Structure 1
Amino acid sequence: MDSESALDDSYFDHCPWDFDGRASAAQRDAQAAHQKLLTDGGASIGPRCFVSPAAGVFTDTLRLGENSYVAGHAYVTGRVTTGSDCTVNPYATVRGRIVLGDGVRIGAHSSLLGFNHGFAPGRPVHRQPLTSRGITVGDDVWIGSNVVVLDGVTIGDHCVVGAGAVVTKDLPPWSVAAGNPARRLRDRRESGPARRDSGPLRGTAEAGGALGDAVARFADLARAQAGDLLARAWDAGAGRYRDRPGAPPTVRAHCDAVEIADLLLGTPPPQLSAAEHVERLRALQDPAEGMVPELAEDGSPGVLPARAADGWIDDGAAEYHVLSVGYALDLLGSRFAHPVRTVERMTAGQLVARLDALPWRTRAWSAGAWVDCWATGAHHNLGLGAGAGEPGTLEALFGWLGTRVDPWTGMWGRAASPAGGRLQLVNGYYRLTRGSFAQFGLPLPYAERVVDTVLGHGGDPRWFAAGRQNACNVLDVAHPLWLVGRQSGHRAAEARVWAGEQLAYALGEWRDGSGFGFGPPGEDGTGPGREPGLQGTEMWLAIVWLLADLVGVADRLGYRPRGVHRPEAARSPVPGPTARPASALQAPVDNTL
């Protein structure tokens, strides 16, 4: 017994919460010496912390926030970082790559295992490689006794995990969870059980709370004002739609008007009859090439440029019109008058050569946009009974994509530069997957790596701080998170938080009678800017749905995108060798992009 204290040293090993108030001077000196050994080894320990000498602490990295403790007989290894007021109680195990927020309580005998062994046949387990995706725990979390949390799990803020649970999947914020495997029983803020709606992020209090109410009010307002914003964009003199007053009539503006009216009114835009809309849009298609040029300055049909050597028409506006006109006609109950000839006549060899030549390293968005156009043209051609290229060409597209995806990011291409961050990479991923994997109903390769990359990009304040968002950038994060969320619950709680923040911002950007502005121009100056118009309105309406569905309140909107931004596949999976599970699309890999 220490002469200066009525409490034996072993008392604090098991009751470390009493150390700050009841330890003797000698015991404090001994603890300071023990912490110095740890900090000399590279650890960082905040003020008023306690680390029991009886704990096995053998970390590569240790960062303890203030007022935190590690009790006796705990076993702590790997790279461990905690916020303030965190506790690792007696006999708990914390191993691997672990990040704890503020106020996390880890009960006695619990294990957070931020690594895993391989166990493939043909090699003894002790010779298998180790993997580590890490465990992330948010703020104000109580993990009860004898809980096991497995590698790759994220536990959101304010969760409570009941004793004996085995947590194998992410838990959204405010979850009360228990069981083996752990399941979400209810929201911590509710007294009753959670609702069992569909989707990986359902059953939250917000579904019936303030955000859900805000979404419903927004949808009612948008429907009430839809007629005014369509009339605002109608140029009666030219008999065509423009993005906004003062802008020239464009093909996309007409298509955006059709999409907006379908979402909010359930009818074609009232300025023309359905038959007149169909007639005008079908007449814009060049019958020889199957593409739709931009309107001339006087509003008359434009002219396409000459073909490239492989027969393609390199024209950005015409390429996007394959999407916008084709889907507008679909919403009107019609389709293109002619196949997209530039797709129909392409051979597999020509397709692969063009894919190889696209600017994946410098302009991944442009490369992804080309894939989106070609694959959408193939989709429309199949609807007409025409060819998706010569035989084997569509299969060649998915074969090329399956062997060129980067397993570290789940993306195609590379980040263009440090100044641009992941902007081109993620935006290109959206365009590529929208037209290919999503449109044809195929699983995405490396879904969890996609989530990591997209969430990393979504936290870049250059593009996503309040007031800096534009429709393109938010859409290009929201859609991948939604799409791969159908395959994996990886970091679902973080995705939900991001979506909730962006949704709250978006709802506040609606302008009465004129809709949404696109937002600040992109890094290359593209986009119509902040002034409200049809393009911004059409895109943000779809974005709001995606964000609301990630959060779990999309049912309050009363609409679901059906055109370019439809969430469901437009076509059954490609027959033959491409109709395989995601794992079959992950090897071999060519990382030369």
Structure 2
Amino acid sequence: MDSESALDDSYFDHCPWDFGPRASPAQRDAQAAHQKRLTDSGASIGAHCFVSPAAGVFTDTLRLGENSYIAGHAYVTGEVITGADCTVNPYATVRGRIALGDGVRIGAHSSLLGFNHGFGPDRPVHRQPLTSRGITVGDDVWIGSNVVVLDGVTIGDHCVVGAGAVVTKDLPPWSVAAGNPARRLRDRRETGPARRGTAQGGDGLGDAVARFADRARSQAAGLLARAWDTDAGRYRDRPGAPLTVRAHCDAVEIADLLLGTPPPQLSAAEHAERLRALQDPAEGMVPELADDGGPGLLPARAADGWIDDGAAEYHVLSVGYALELLGSRFAHPVRPVERMTAGQLVARLEALPWRTRAWTAGAWVDCWATGAHHNLGLGAAAGEPGALEALFGWLSTRVDPWTGMWGGASSPAEGRLQLVNGHYRLTRGSFAQFGLRLPYPERVVDTVLDHGGDPRWFAAGRQNACNVLDVAHPLWLAGRQSCHRSAEARAWAAEQLAYALEQWRDGTGFGFGPPGEGGSGPGREPGLQGTEMWLAIVWLLSDLVGVADRLGYRPRGVHRPEAARSPAPGPPAHPVPVDNTL
């Protein structure tokens, strides 16, 4: 036996880093055959990889970047995506929804558990449903031996996690962390103890967002009082603006974010009762207020039973979530959703203006899916049998695999504005709200970053809350599944975050910003809508940068980052489009 073939196969199971330079031709052939069996089952394996035949690899999705390996006795299941130069060392466990960047080292006996069991008292644990928020690990990360990383955690770029740590919360980039539960000890770029701000943002953004949050909290009660009309017993977006349903909902969201309580003008029960009373009992939708501040009227039903009213459609989101924040729910199901059949739903989807007004089309999907969510919470129907499945089936087969979007191409006048903004509204209500994975997340990032560089919408002074939100959320959501272009996403977020923090106006909050295409939006004057939206945007941008923990708040309403309910019937992880003629 010559020196090249002197090493037993079991040696490479435990020392896979030696396979490239030291394996015999026969061992290389055997490895190629093993990898072919995996790729024939749907795996994607890059060049110069090694997967030990002694590892338990039983994945639904496996994508290994080049120069990566899975060592012997590792246990790998679920949906696992890695960048280049990633290593899963002997006896490590990688399960659930896992996305690794480039250069990630997972030490022996460590566990990345991207799923969880329920443990309610109503049934044995082994019969509880499984949930999966997924684990995302950035580039250049060393996870030491015997580390446990729990579901829902994001570990930022350049982190080092000490042996035996139990990671239960996100770690910002450059963290050196250890302990049970793991805590951040210092910034890897520093030789001494971490400096606040520099350690969390690299450029002081950590300190900046902390100062901003303290400032906003100290002024929150005054902002709400400014918008309260004592005589009408309702809220205006700002003094002099009309009384609106949304203003009341924005007040509830702002108070929840900054005060952790209902707006102080009324008790939680009183707020909930006033909002519940606005719902039309026959249709279950909330029309805009009449000029005198009383309940408004809804238009007649369309032929398929839908109520075509833009304000009432958005109130399915804003009122429904405000009531949830107040510990309440709608008094009645959203009837147009409840009575819609799968056939009617598909016909409505086909008729939406995807090519010319993708935002309008996406907003309708957001409304219908959110109505389904609220109806399920009441124990009512999410449409007639098969309607919810029809929604996700239709969306899964109409997504464009080249852009990750729904709708037409960009236009000279708007660029990708309609396409990206429509994607946000559609995915907010459907995939994000129901806890389903985005189709083609890498293409989403490509499209959204391309749009995010359009100076017509994102040059300093031209941003408005809608346009920035509609880029920040897709980047955040896609980033939970993939580390694709993560450094560029962080750079964009850092630039927009620095700008956003400067827009706060003491005593009045945030303005929405310059009106969008067609003059939409409340404009530059600070008010409740701008404040509510920018507070959520600041959280999303801060989380993309890795400093969200410094804010001390997390959106829980319309702009909540987490799913609102467990996954519904939906698409496969990588759907195959059959009709892209939208």
TM over 0.5: yes
Q: Identify the residue that residue 373 of structure 1 maps to in structure 2.
A: 367
**Structure 1: runs of 5 or more not aligned:** 1-118, 133-147, 152-164
**Contact between 2:223 and 2:509, CA under 8 Å: does it hold in 1?**
yes
Of residues 282, 293, 296, the one that matches 2:287 is 293
Return the alpha-carbon distance in structure 2 between the equivalents of residues 191 and 388 of structure 1.
Answer: 43
Q: Aligned AA for 2:295?
A: P
Partner of 1:582: 573
Deviations 1:396-428 (A, max 9, x none): 000000000000000000135122110000000
Tell me the amino acid that sits aligned with residue 582 of structure 1. A
Matched, 1:592 2:581: yes
1:415/1:423 contact within 8 Å kept: no
Q: Where do 1:90-105 residues align within 5 Å?
A: none
Are 1:166 and 2:85 an aligned pair? Answer: yes
Which residue in the other structure is 1:208 paired with?
Answer: 200
Instruction: Give, as a single letter, the amino acid of the residue that structure 1 aligns with 2:173.
Output: R
Contact 1:285–1:337 (CA<8 Å) still a contact in 2? yes
Aligned partners of 1:190 and 1:361: how far apart in 2?
Answer: 42
Secondary structure of residue in 2 paired with 1:535? helix
- Aligned partner of 1:268 in structure 2 is 262
Give 1:239 deviation, angstroms.
1.2
Matched-pair contact (CA < 8 Å) for 1:233–1:242: yes
* Conserved? CA contact 1:201–1:492, under 8 Å: no
* Residues 117-173 of structure 1 deviation map (CA, whole Å, 9 limit, x = unaligned): xx877999xxxx9999xxxxxxxxxxxxxxx9959xxxxxxxxxxxxx93799879x
Q: TM-score, normalised by structure 2?
A: 0.70
Query: What is the match of residue 224 of structure 1?
Result: 218
Give the Cα separation in 2 of the matches to 1:443 and 1:246.
43
- Per-residue CA deviations over 1:181-230 (Å, capped at 9, x if unaligned) read 9733599x999989978559633654535110011000000000000100
Within 5 A, what are the aligned runs for 1:248-287?
248-287=242-281
Listed as ranges, the matches of 1:403-552 within 5 Å are 403-552=397-546
Q: In structure 1, how many angstroms separate the alpha carbons of the residues matched to 2:307 and 2:268?
A: 30
In 2, distance between residues paired with 1:537 and 1:415? 32
Provide the C-alpha distance between the structure 2 equivalents of 1:572 and 1:449, rounded to a whole number of angstroms: 25
Residue of structure 1 equivalent to 2:395: 401
Specify the code of the residue in structure 1 equivalent to 2:85: V
Partner of 2:140 in structure 1? 183
Q: Matched residues in 2 for 1:533 and 1:566: separation? A: 20
CA distance, structure 1, for counterparts of residue 38 and residue 222 of structure 2: 68
Q: List per-residue Cα deviations over 1:59-94 (Å, max 9, x = no partner).
A: xxxxxxxxxxxxxxxxxxxxxxxxxxxxxxxxxxxx
Flag the 1:284–1:452 CA change in 2: closer, same or farther, 3 A: same
Distance, in Å, in 2 between the alignment partners of 1:506 and 1:123 is 46
Structure 2 counterpart of 1:323: 317
Aligned pair 1:560/2:554, yes or no?
yes
| Equivalent in the alignment of 1:307 | 301
Q: Distance in 2 between matches of 1:397 and 1:233?
A: 38
For residues 383 and 319 of structure 1, the distance between their equivalents in structure 2, rounded to whole angstroms, comes to 18
CA distance in 1, matches of 2:199, 2:326: 32
For normalisation by structure 1, the TM-score amounts to 0.69
Inter-partner Cα distance in structure 2 for 1:556 and 1:518: 24
Judging changes above 3 Å, is the alpha-carbon distance between structure 1 residues 456 and 416 closer, same or farther for their aligned structure 2 residues? closer
Structure 2: distance between partners of 1:197 and 1:390: 40
Mapped to 1, the partners of 2:556 and 2:231 lie a distance apart of: 30
Which residue is 2:52 aligned to? none
Q: Is the 8 A contact 2:452 2:471 kept in 1?
A: yes
Tell me the amino acid that sits aligned with residue 220 of structure 1.
D
RMSD of aligned alpha carbons: 3.3
- Secondary structure in 2 aligned to 1:433? helix
Q: Which amino acid aligns with 1:213?
A: D
- Indicate how the Cα distance of structure 1 residues 588 and 335 shifts in structure 2: closer, same or farther if over 3 A, else same: same
Match of 2:115 in 1: none
Return the alpha-carbon distance in structure 1 between the equivalents of residues 428 and 314 of structure 2: 13
What is the rounded CA distance, in whole Å, between the counterparts of 2:565 and 2:296 in structure 1?
A: 31
Residue deviations 1:413-454 (CA, integer Å, cap 9, x gap):
013512211000000000000000000001110010000001
Residue 155 of structure 1 is matched in structure 2 by none
SS at match of 1:582: coil
> Any gaps of 5 or more consecutive residues in structure 2?
1-34, 48-63, 68-83, 88-98, 108-136, 144-154, 176-186, 188-197
- Distance in 2 (CA, whole Å) between partners of 1:540 and 1:366 is 22
Alpha carbons of structure 1 residues 592 and 219: separation in structure 2 relative to 1, 3 Å: same
In the TM superposition, residue 237 of structure 1 has moved relative to its aligned partner by 1.6
Letter aligned with residue 579 of structure 2: D
Residue 192 (structure 2) aligns with: none
Distance in 2 separating the partners of 1:123 and 1:326 = 46
2-side partners of 1:283 and 1:200: how far apart? 44
Q: Is the 8 A contact 2:400 2:577 kept in 1?
A: no
2:434–2:563 CA contact under 8 A, matched in 1: yes
Structure 1 SS opposite 2:568 = coil
SS in 2 for 1:411: coil
Matched letter for residue 379 of structure 1: H
Report the Cα distance in structure 2 between the residues aligned to 1:337 and 1:190, rounded to whole angstroms. 49
Matched-pair contact (CA < 8 Å) for 2:85–2:104: no
